[in-house]
Amino acid sequence: MNTTNLFIEILIIGLGSFIAVLIFIFAFYPVSYDEVKLFVNDVGNSVLISVPFLVYFLGILFDRIADRIMQRKEARIRESFYQNPNYPEMANESALRDLKSSVYYKSSTMTSLLEYGRSRLRICRGWILNSFLIAIGLLLIGLLQGRITQISLISTIVIFFILTWLNYWAWKSMAKGEYVKLHYYGSYIKKVNGASDPSE
């Protein structure tokens, strides 16, 4: 995975994290549009230029937090392949590591596809946390301020809770799919190597 793709991935996660942080700030420290406009005019472009750097930092931070939260679930998904007779090359952690190393060593194309899949996983994983925090932040705004109409508030909260679930569903499905993909890539490499080596 090249540096540009990784940078974009972190920015996508960080953008949602930045929105969530702003919503929490506004929930506890309500400000009007005019106050925000006045603040932007006062601070000038120098502070606004730093926003992308803040988004990038939040992307790294929230990605790590989401990783810790989902670590056990991902471990259970990974372990479900260990005892599956359809995936003998994934019998344990060591075998899985060897399989991945073999694919990464033998094929740059397959490696790129696996890395692309991992990137999508990380984005979905980060947005599970982002969507949930945005929904909670909007709920706090409704409870603490009550300045948003009830129907609009409830609708928005429901949308973000649904988005949280959809991101979780997508992450879980893709996590399983990545191990299946790794299995097929490993089997293909083994088949090609076997066909090209008469001694085997």
Tens digits of residue pLDDT in 31-76:
766 666 676 666 666 667 788 899 999 999 999 999 999 999 999 9
The pTM of the full predicted model, rounded to 2 decimals, is 0.83
Average pLDDT of the segment spanning 170-199: 80
Q: What mean pLDDT comes out for the span 100-109?
A: 88
Examine residue 70 and state whether it is found in any structural domain, yes or no.
Answer: yes
**Is residue 169 predicted with pLDDT exceeding 80?**
yes
Residue 197 belongs to some domain of the structure? no
Q: Is residue 98 exposed (0-12), middle (13-18) or buried (19+ Cβ within 10 Å)?
A: middle
200 in a domain, yes or no? no
Q: What is the DSSP string of 155-182?
A: HHHHHHHHHHHHHHHHHHHHHHHHHHHH
Is residue 200 very low, low, confident or very high in pLDDT (cuts 50, 70, 90)? very low
Angle, in degrees to the nearest 10, between helices 51-79 and 150-196:
60
Q: How far apart are CA 166 and CA 105, in angstroms?
A: 34
Q: Note whether residue 11 is domain-resident.
A: yes
Contact 168, 73 (CB under 8 A): no
Residue 96 lies in a domain: yes
Q: Is 199 inside any structural domain?
A: no
Distance between CA atoms of residues 51 and 185, nearest Å = 41
Domain count, the chain: 1
- For tokens 């502070």, what's the residue? 47
**The domain containing residue 181 runs over which residues?**
3-192
Report the alpha-carbon angle 136-142-145, nearest 5: 125
Q: What is the mean pLDDT of the chain?
A: 84
